[in-house]
Amino acid sequence: MRTDVQIKQDVLDELVFQPKINETQIGVIVRNGVVTLTGRVFTYANKIAAEEAVKKVKGVKAVAEDIEVGYDTQEHKTDTEVANAVIDALLWNSAVPDEKISIKVEDGYVYLTGKVEWAYQKEAAKRVIHNLIGVKGIFNSIIVKQVEEKPYQIKERISKAFERSAHIDANNITIELMDDHIIKLKGKVHSLTEKEEAQKAAFYAPGIYEVENELEVI
């Protein structure tokens, strides 16, 4: 079992290692394996980068993220400017069916709604806009349509996805189908990143709209 002191040092080292992060803007507190990040960064992308960096550290059980997004006067964008930038970003990304997505921007926060056929389309919609200047946060409420698949086909697709991934130890994860559209993941993983990668891979299976992730970080 790694101590909080060891985890904190590794988190600090990882933040220094990441080129997109200015570690002097971020405070780190670790208690019982839970990492709390504080501070103020210039873009939402910086905020996400810090969170993702922490999740890679062995022994981190959870991340409590209290980082604020701010920018200088030159980088300030009105909500209308942000909304137009979001529209353009979605329009130019082939993975996103932009005609099925509605956008609202309020005080720099982007709210996405609508309905798509695949989970990767929902994730892509968020991913393509988080680097935009002026975005403080994203609320992704896009709904994934249910696609009819037989239960054994769903489990088989997810198992194969785990086996293909270089970031997931498929041998330590079990898949339980709760009903036609909900699955539960159980077992042990080595980091929050691996836990989230497993959930993401499972969520991408056709017909799955909810994943109960009970994987334990050791």
Tell me the domain boundaries of the chain.
Answer: 4-69, 78-144, 151-217
Greatest CA separation for the chain: 55
Summarize pLDDT for 66-95 with one digit per residue, the tens. 888 876 555 678 899 999 999 999 998 888
Top-confidence residue, 63 or 166: 63
One-letter amino acid identity for 62?
A: A
* CATH number at 4-69: 3.30.1340.30
Q: β-strands 26-31, 101-106: how paired?
A: unpaired
Summarize pLDDT for 105-158 with one digit per residue, the tens. 998 899 999 988 877 888 889 989 988 988 989 999 998 876 555 656 777 888
Q: Is residue 147 a contact partner of residue 117, using CB atoms and an 8 Å limit? A: yes
Neighbours of 53 (CB within 10 A): 22
Copy the structure tokens of residue 76: 């300030």
* CATH number at 151-217: 3.30.1340.30
Q: β-strands 109-116, 143-144: how paired?
A: parallel
pLDDT of residue 71: 66
Top-confidence residue, 178 or 72: 178
Domain 78-144 classification at class level:
alpha beta
For range 1-26, the mean pLDDT: 89
pLDDT of residue 142: 92
Summarize pLDDT for 181-207 with one digit per residue, the tens. 788 899 988 888 889 888 888 877 776
**Dihedral-angle region of residue 7 (phi above 0 means left; psi in -120 to 50 means alpha; beta otherwise):** alpha
What pTM was estimated for this model as a whole? 0.64
The reply to whether domains 4-69 and 78-144 share a CATH topology is: yes
pLDDT of residue 133: 87
Phi (first) and psi of residue 102, to 5 degrees: -105, 145
pLDDT of residue 150: 63
One-letter amino acid identity for 177?
A: L
**Dihedral-angle region of residue 89 (phi above 0 means left; psi in -120 to 50 means alpha; beta otherwise):** alpha
pLDDT at 56 over 70: yes
pLDDT at 215 over 70: yes
